[in-house]
Structure 1
Amino acid sequence: MSKITGTTAIEIADCIRALVQNGHYHPGDTLPPVRELAETLGVNRNTVAAAYQRLTKAGLALAQGRHGTSIATAPQAGEQEGLSGDTPLIDLAHGNPNLNWLPDASPLLAGRPLRSALYGEDTILPELRAAGLSWFADDCPPGWELELTNGAVDGIERLAAAQLVAGDKVAVEDPCFLGSINALRLSGMQTIGVPIDDEGMQPQALQRALEQGARAVLLTPRANNPTGCSLSRRRAEELKRVLAGHPNVLIIVDDHFALLASEPYHSVIPSPATRWAVLRSVSKGLGPDMRLAFVACDAGTAARLRTRLAPGMSWVSRILQTVVAACLGAPAVQQQIAAARAGYAARRAELRSELIAQGIRLPPPADGLNVWIPLDRDARDVAYALAKKGWLVRLGSAYDVQAQSQAIRITVSNMQDGQARQFALDLKSALR
């Protein structure tokens, strides 16, 4: 191995970092023991230990207790939602809304100027600010402020980066949305999976995660992806009581399905909370390309969020805001959103009915674009059997944090007439 040099923790860490970048160290390579390297460099063991801790916090090294410290594997983007290309299978894994139920904004823009904004102008269009203030009015503690981000996942990542540091623990639902898992992992956060049931995150499990040092909590109040569960009023109050005992924990509420949700919103933010944010994206109702989310948060969190926006772009594109404002203000679009809400509910209900008719056990009715199907056998075998019958499904394990799901997730948005029945028959056959 190449020689490590340095007399301070920063110098030693920087040297090892350069050795990794130059290819002298590779992922999985073990660094010299602390005592050995300290003797070689003629420094205190605490200096080497501090250098290794610095590398670990930066995600460049992995501390393995008695097995020492090794070079970490570079983070990967991870599994993504989306269409599966030219597959001959019927794609029930994609996670997308129905393209035909998304509004066409072009007729709404006639006569609307698409003027570029200049530095220093108000970062939120007046009509969008009014829409956001109205949307959150009954759901947030007093004194909240409104911001915009480029979608919900962008908001989660910016909030975490503004309030946390690499290595901090974040309590998340288990199973958890792919985008949220990836955003936190790539930001260097440690995720603690909190089990969920039919009513959402389990309070006692959340309490344990907070006692383990979680500095933030990320949860979905409605249409959890992948399971579709929503918080009941009773569960929200239970979670609120748990969080009241930890007033300095950052609470991030990802209400991503708010435009289309059939279930009511129940707040988990207690009055003692000092750091909180509620995000509501427009992508499910207006389309994934509408990368805009409203963020309601306390004043301190809003100030920190602005610092995360300022270095690059201090506002979400005003042109995009104009398009979103036109959609949200159009009665025809509101009618289309209502029709889509009813359409997704009908397709969920149809698939559930067909599965139950085949004797397949399901959780209670849920919300969102998907149906979650727990299995009593290896989900990979079931998915393979379904693929041979022409169906592409998403494995539940893709959403696992620490748990090990045996389940499949079915996106119902593009299912055609008669497909639910055939899928239920084929799934029953695959389970034999």
Structure 2
Amino acid sequence: MHIVRIKGTTAAEIAGSVRDQVASGELAPQAGLPPVRALAAELGVNRNTVALAYRRLVEAGVAETRGRGGTVVAAVPQLAREGVGAGGDCVDLASGNPDPSLLPDILAAARSGSYSRPLYGAPALDAGLDAWARADFAEDVDHAFRTLVTHGAVDATERLLNAHLTRGDLVAVEDPCFLASIGTLRLSGYRSAPVRVDGAGMRPDALRAALEAGARAVVCTPRAHNPTGAGLTEERAADLRAILTEHPQVLVIEDDHFSAVSARPYHRVTPPSSARWALVRSVSKFLGPDLRLALVAADADTTARLEARLSAGTTWVSHLLQHTARELLMDPRVHELHERAREFYARRSALLVGRLRAHGIDVPYQPDGLNVWVELDVDGRATVAALARRGWAVRPGHLFAPDPAAHQGAIRITSSTVTEPQAEEFAAELAEVVAELRSTASTADAASTADAATGPPPSRPGH
């Protein structure tokens, strides 16, 4: 067994010694560090010195605390990702992907219009795309803003959080939550404050509790929430704005990823009093997942911080991608395609929800977007496994929970490509699976009750 030999008499030296051993492989991921008192006694230093060293290691992402489990070397988080279905012959209702037939021809757009190869030092933002974005945002943002382009919504969210927060800060996120947002928080070392979501979006009482607990940022999806399909109503948005007005220094990020094809209007949650805010509109859901680009409107200070991280000559977003997006966003034929996509996605979602309800599966509201969220009274993992054996791929709800112990009975179903026969067959089979799992659970409960009633067998003399 390897014995940890940590050296040093100052917090910096102790933290450096641990980092050296992690880098050399002497301390493997999940390896436990000595208790603070024990290490302080061994090194002959005050325990506060060791505690400070451990705190710096946690802030740097080298270690993590586990309460009574002590401090351990951090491992790279194993994160669930979007776009994962089930292989083989399963019908894919799991991937969260848009319908390919409702996406425009990216290559044709890349070849059209005027494109000149930029060199280092060129402006970071395509002028035509900037003009389109400013006009688009101006319809929804009623105070001063600037625009930027990032490498997609996930990139924008991560950079925005990193521009204003430090490791260990608390971030209010929807519960359940977009998979990539969960990954961003874990990889960046932020703590999550889950805010429960219902059919109208974030619940005001839950948001207030998160802010009172010290959340320094809020990440909110105003419509087509992934995974639930929830969309903010005008009344709910007003309630959330009122709460956020009381916290003007909190960073507010709105991820409006489904903007061009959503069946719902956009209702803004960012109040005029917010000093730090951003509205992010990516294009992957309606122009194509490979077009890694998002348009961002933000306050002047936030834009300046983002610019510093996206400066020309280092990591600007490809002008070829910007040119392609501009050509597509300004093409009337693409606008017509988006109208069709909006209608088709809404129709397919309603079709699936209708068939589920007809078979006794409760879906309390009509979702918007590509997915339908179902809360069941049986185990979600068992439901997913049973459906897979029947040839259906869906995703378990716990993957979308900031706290993996939550939403154990939920599943997420992608409705973007579902047909009428598939909707009927799937709903019928899901109802059968739920009935079977309920029966199995009832039998197990009855057996457990019987065992408890009879008690242990009597002991024999001499035992």
Fold in common (TM above 0.5):
yes
Structure-1 residue corresponding to 2:58: 56
Segment of structure 1 superposing worse, 6-15 or 147-156: 6-15
**Distance (Å, rounded) in 1 between the aligned partners of 2:326 and 2:279:** 20
Alignment partner of 1:418 out of 417, 421, 424 = 421
Supply the AA of the counterpart residue of 2:72: S
**3-state DSSP class of the match of 1:296?**
strand
Q: Is the 8 A contact 1:306 1:314 kept in 2?
A: no
Structure-2 residue corresponding to 1:38: 40
Segment of structure 1 superposing worse, 323-332 or 64-73: 64-73
Q: Is the 8 A contact 1:260 1:337 kept in 2?
A: yes
After superposition, residues 34-113 of structure 1 pair within 5 angstroms as: 34-76=36-78, 78-84=79-85, 86-113=87-114
What is the CA distance between 1:340 and its match in structure 2? 0.9
Matched, 1:380 2:381: yes
Q: Is the 8 A contact 2:224 2:367 kept in 1?
A: yes
Structure-2 residue corresponding to 1:8: 10
After superposition, residues 300-319 of structure 1 pair within 5 angstroms as: 300-310=301-311, 313-319=314-320
Q: Is the 8 A contact 1:83 1:91 kept in 2?
A: no
What is the CA distance between 1:141 and its match in structure 2? 4.0
**Distance (Å, rounded) in 1 between the aligned partners of 2:30 and 2:325:** 47
Matched, 1:324 2:325: yes
**Distance (Å, rounded) in 2 between the aligned partners of 1:38 and 1:355:** 60
What is the CA distance between 1:45 and its match in structure 2? 2.6
**3-state DSSP class of the match of 1:418?**
helix
**3-state DSSP class of the match of 2:171?**
strand
After superposition, residues 314-393 of structure 1 pair within 5 angstroms as: 314-393=315-394
What is the CA distance between 1:312 and its match in structure 2? 7.4
Supply the AA of the counterpart residue of 2:137: F
Structure-2 residue corresponding to 1:170: 171
What is the CA distance between 1:320 and its match in structure 2? 0.5
What is the CA distance between 1:60 and its match in structure 2? 1.8
Cα deviation 1:163-222 (Å, max 9, x = unaligned):
111111100000000011111211111111111111111111111111111110001000
What is the CA distance between 1:370 and its match in structure 2? 0.9
Cα deviation 1:9-40 (Å, max 9, x = unaligned):
11210111111222322333332232332333
Q: Is the 8 A contact 2:124 2:311 kept in 1?
A: no
Structure-2 residue corresponding to 1:265: 266
**Distance (Å, rounded) in 1 between the aligned partners of 2:149 and 2:109:** 22
Please, what is the CA RMSD of the aligned residues? Answer: 1.7
Q: Structure 2 vs 1, CA of residues 182 and 244 (structure 1 numbering), >3 Å: closer, same or farther? A: same
Alignment partner of 1:408 out of 394, 408, 411 = 411
**Distance (Å, rounded) in 2 between the aligned partners of 1:83 and 1:64:** 30
**3-state DSSP class of the match of 2:259?**
coil
Q: Is the 8 A contact 1:60 1:74 kept in 2?
A: no
**Distance (Å, rounded) in 1 between the aligned partners of 2:35 and 2:410:** 43
Matched, 1:233 2:215: no
User: Identical aligned pairs, as a percentage?
Assistant: 48
**Distance (Å, rounded) in 2 between the aligned partners of 1:124 and 1:27:** 41
Cα deviation 1:133-166 (Å, max 9, x = unaligned):
1111132241111011011011001111111111
**3-state DSSP class of the match of 1:14?**
helix
Q: Is the 8 A contact 1:123 1:314 kept in 2?
A: no
Structure-2 residue corresponding to 1:156: 157
Q: Structure 2 vs 1, CA of residues 55 and 280 (structure 1 numbering), >3 Å: closer, same or farther? A: same
Q: Structure 2 vs 1, CA of residues 17 and 110 (structure 1 numbering), >3 Å: closer, same or farther? A: closer
**Distance (Å, rounded) in 2 between the aligned partners of 1:145 and 1:87:** 47
Segment of structure 1 superposing worse, 392-401 or 4-13: 4-13
**Distance (Å, rounded) in 2 between the aligned partners of 1:117 and 1:109:** 15
Supply the AA of the counterpart residue of 2:417: N
Segment of structure 1 superposing worse, 168-177 or 46-55: 46-55
Cα deviation 1:300-335 (Å, max 9, x = unaligned):
000111122239734211101111111111111110
Q: Structure 2 vs 1, CA of residues 245 and 312 (structure 1 numbering), >3 Å: closer, same or farther? A: farther
Q: Structure 2 vs 1, CA of residues 161 and 100 (structure 1 numbering), >3 Å: closer, same or farther? A: same
Structure-2 residue corresponding to 1:394: 395
Segment of structure 1 superposing worse, 234-243 or 358-367: 358-367
**3-state DSSP class of the match of 2:218?**
strand
Matched, 1:29 2:66: no
Matched, 1:249 2:245: no
What is the CA distance between 1:68 and its match in structure 2? 3.4
Q: Structure 2 vs 1, CA of residues 70 and 311 (structure 1 numbering), >3 Å: closer, same or farther? A: farther
Segment of structure 1 superposing worse, 108-117 or 246-255: 108-117
Q: Is the 8 A contact 1:172 1:218 kept in 2?
A: yes
**Distance (Å, rounded) in 2 between the aligned partners of 1:348 and 1:426:** 18
Structure-1 residue corresponding to 2:117: 116
Q: Structure 2 vs 1, CA of residues 66 and 106 (structure 1 numbering), >3 Å: closer, same or farther? A: closer
**3-state DSSP class of the match of 2:351?**
helix
Larger radius of gyration: 2
Structure-2 residue corresponding to 1:202: 203
**3-state DSSP class of the match of 1:214?**
coil
Supply the AA of the counterpart residue of 1:140: V
Uncovered stretches (5+) of structure 2, i.e. residues with no partner: 436-463
Q: Is the 8 A contact 2:348 2:417 kept in 1?
A: no
Q: Structure 2 vs 1, CA of residues 67 and 82 (structure 1 numbering), >3 Å: closer, same or farther? A: closer
Could you state the TM-score of these two structures normalised by the residue count of structure 2?
A: 0.89
Supply the AA of the counterpart residue of 1:159: L
Structure-1 residue corresponding to 2:459: none
